[in-house]
Amino acid sequence: MRAVKLGFCIFIMMAIGAALMAQKPHNVPGADERYKVDILVVVAHPDDEIYFSAYILRAMQEEHKRVAVIYATRGDSGGNGEGRERGPALADARETEARDACARLGITKVWFLNAVDTAQQNPLVSLARWGHGENLERLVALVRLTRPEILLTHLPAVTIGEDHGDHSAAGVLATEAFDLAANPLAFPEQLSGEMHEYEAALSNLRPWQPSKLYFTSDSSDRHRFDGSGPRYSVWGLSPAEKKPYWRLALESALMHRTQFPSEVKAALLMNDAEMEKFFTGPASEWWPEPLTLIFGKSVVGGSASEDVFAHVNGRSELAQDNHANPQPQSSGVHIELGGPWGFLAQFGRAHGLPDGLMPQSPEIAVKSGTRLVIPLVVKHDPGTNVTIHLAVSAPEGWIVKNGESDFPLPAAEAETTIALELETPAQPRPGIEELVLRGEIEGKPLGEVKMRIQVNSGALPQ
Ligand SMILES: [Zn+2]
């Protein structure tokens, strides 16, 4: 009888427990920890991870940081040094190479955006061909998925030596994603929570603010960015593999067989001393000592030259960066550069990047015997009838094809763009030349724009 009573009590308690369970609110699952990383690398092409590989190895092996890499493109228009038979399948080959190279670094989280490899110099052309909005949306989703503290990407600037528009375009996307991922109003459908319908279109991500943003640049002026960020030795010794980081970075880079076939073959024949000279010597384009990361911005304070992870506290979802530097204001008639130079200068200020990162004078490297178009923006007060005269001072050998003339500025507009078209000298020139573009009204100087130009035997088209 006692046993029957006890059984009845247990039954009642279980029933109450089940009723309470049924009323418990259903929690939306938290962030997916499988994707969490510390460092997110955002680069344009398979092989661009090489800019960061020596640092990444150090961060992974000495500090146990988790790293993911995002390539904007699959490198479909790049060269194929291995042989033309793989031409149509080059993007597939390069994706495999990139995954192999990352695996050699110890990275298994690798994504590709949907951007088209666009081999020319203008990041605006790259962004137009890529579908800027679609790929920014994808990148913001991946920042929210991987929740990195640190973003590493290309410097969004046009410099002599850094001549690929896709690189600065990838830097634009990554900087925008750094500033947008924490904003719940940006791509809100990514933050819709767990849904039982349309789950393939909606996602359960959370806003995320990375702590710091760093850049790399291919500028041919090796010392331009000295002091602009932390420096790391490429000769640091891997505790796991007992080899210097540059050597491990090389083993990873050699996976890009379609891109560096001659280096792959040459490296196999070199002894250690030859290898060191070729890959790490002061003249090397691979891993010259030391590796400098260019500081872009931080939402957790600290100075540019401090260690990448200084002040990073893992609570960066609480911070949100809205810092912008003021845009210069002008009145009356004023001339400035448009196109990628004008955009990137404005972009750097809008996203609060340090002033010193942009070249003091706009610059570009161009091919000899080709065409250079320089868009000039004339800002003027609407409602007034003004004619501006544009003049160009160029070194011998340059030919002004178009734009050196009088321009009546339309009274209905506040801004008029004039494209100056020049033919570059027939032969490459040593050193850097300067073009001066002047505006004047009725003989009175209005201002000038100076451009530094290197005329090379080869350069990507403008
Ligand atoms: Zn590249």
- Reported as type and span, the H/E element at residue 378 is strand 371-379
CA of 140 to the centre of ligand 1 (A): 21
Specify the 3-state DSSP secondary structure of 282.
coil
Q: 354, 304 in Cβ contact below 8 A?
A: yes
The pLDDT, as a whole number, for residue 2 is: 54
CA of 235 to the centre of ligand 1 (A): 24
When pLDDT is averaged across residues 215-227 and rounded to a whole number, the result is 89
pLDDT > 90? residue 53 = yes
CA of 122 to the centre of ligand 1 (A): 14
Q: 448, 334 in Cβ contact below 8 A?
A: no
Higher pLDDT, 353 or 22: 353
pLDDT > 60? residue 3 = no
Q: Which CATH code is given to the segment(s) 33-318?
A: 3.40.50.10320
pLDDT > 70? residue 364 = yes
Q: What percent of the chain has pLDDT over 90?
A: 63
CA of 211 to the centre of ligand 1 (A): 25
* Per-residue pLDDT reduced to its tens digit, 174-213: 999 999 999 999 999 999 887 777 777 788 899 999 999 9
pLDDT > 60? residue 318 = no
* Per-residue pLDDT reduced to its tens digit, 152-161: 999 999 998 8
* Per-residue pLDDT reduced to its tens digit, 389-434: 999 999 999 999 988 889 988 888 888 889 899 999 999 999 999 9
Query: What are 42's two structure tokens?
Result: 């955002």
CA of 71 to the centre of ligand 1 (A): 10
CA of 275 to the centre of ligand 1 (A): 23
For residue 11, give every residue at least 6 positions away whose Cβ sits within 8 Å of its Cβ, in sequence order, or none. Answer: none
CA of 111 to the centre of ligand 1 (A): 16
When pLDDT is averaged across residues 87-101 and rounded to a whole number, the result is 92
For residue 445, give every residue at least 6 positions away whose Cβ sits within 8 Å of its Cβ, in sequence order, or none. Answer: 438, 439
Alpha carbon of residue 325 to chain centroid: 20
pLDDT classification of 37: cutoffs 50, 70, 90: very high
CA of 44 to the centre of ligand 1 (A): 5
The fold of 334-456 is Immunoglobulin-like (2.60.40)
When pLDDT is averaged across residues 278-301 and rounded to a whole number, the result is 91
pLDDT classification of 320: cutoffs 50, 70, 90: low
CA of 455 to the centre of ligand 1 (A): 21
pLDDT > 90? residue 260 = no
pLDDT classification of 370: cutoffs 50, 70, 90: very high
When pLDDT is averaged across residues 350-365 and rounded to a whole number, the result is 89
| Residue appearing with tokens 């403008």 | 462
CA of 320 to the centre of ligand 1 (A): 30
CA of 10 to the centre of ligand 1 (A): 69
pLDDT classification of 283: cutoffs 50, 70, 90: confident
CA of 45 to the centre of ligand 1 (A): 5
| Residue appearing with tokens 């073959």 | 265
Query: What are 265's two structure tokens?
Result: 């073959």
**Residue 407 DSSP label:** E
Same-fold call for 33-318 versus 334-456: no
b/e string for 255-274 if b means 16 or more Cβ within 10 A?
bbbbbbeebbeebeeeeeee
Q: Tell me the Cα Rg of the chain.
A: 27
Give how far Cα 320 sits from Cα of 182, 183, 187, 212, 271, Å.
Answer: 6, 8, 16, 11, 51
Query: What are 223's two structure tokens?
Result: 């010392």
CA of 1 to the centre of ligand 1 (A): 83
pLDDT classification of 87: cutoffs 50, 70, 90: confident
The pLDDT, as a whole number, for residue 423 is: 95
Q: What distance in Å separates the CA atoms of residue 455 and residue 425, rounded to the nearest whole number?
A: 7
CA of 75 to the centre of ligand 1 (A): 8
Domain residue limits, the chain: 33-318, 334-456
Nearest to 393 by CA among 445, 340, 341, 347: 445
Q: DSSP letters along 133-197, please?
A: HHHHHHHHHHHHHH--SEEEEE-SS-BTTB--HHHHHHHHHHHHHHHHTT-TTSSGGGB--S-SS
CA of 188 to the centre of ligand 1 (A): 31
The pLDDT, as a whole number, for residue 264 is: 75
Higher pLDDT, 383 or 50: 50
Higher pLDDT, 9 or 92: 92
When pLDDT is averaged across residues 234-253 and rounded to a whole number, the result is 95
- Whole-number mean pLDDT of the chain? 89
CA of 234 to the centre of ligand 1 (A): 21
pLDDT > 90? residue 144 = yes
Relative orientation angle of helices 245-253 and 50-63, to the nearest 10 degrees: 130
Count CB atoms within 10 A of the CB of residue 336. Answer: 18
Q: DSSP letters along 59-101, please?
A: HHHHH---EEEEEEE--TTS--TT-GGGSTTHHHHHHHHHHHH
CA of 174 to the centre of ligand 1 (A): 15
CA of 35 to the centre of ligand 1 (A): 25
Q: 153, 215 in Cβ contact below 8 A?
A: yes
The pLDDT, as a whole number, for residue 4 is: 52
CA of 167 to the centre of ligand 1 (A): 6
pLDDT classification of 452: cutoffs 50, 70, 90: very high
Count CB atoms within 10 A of the CB of residue 454. Answer: 19
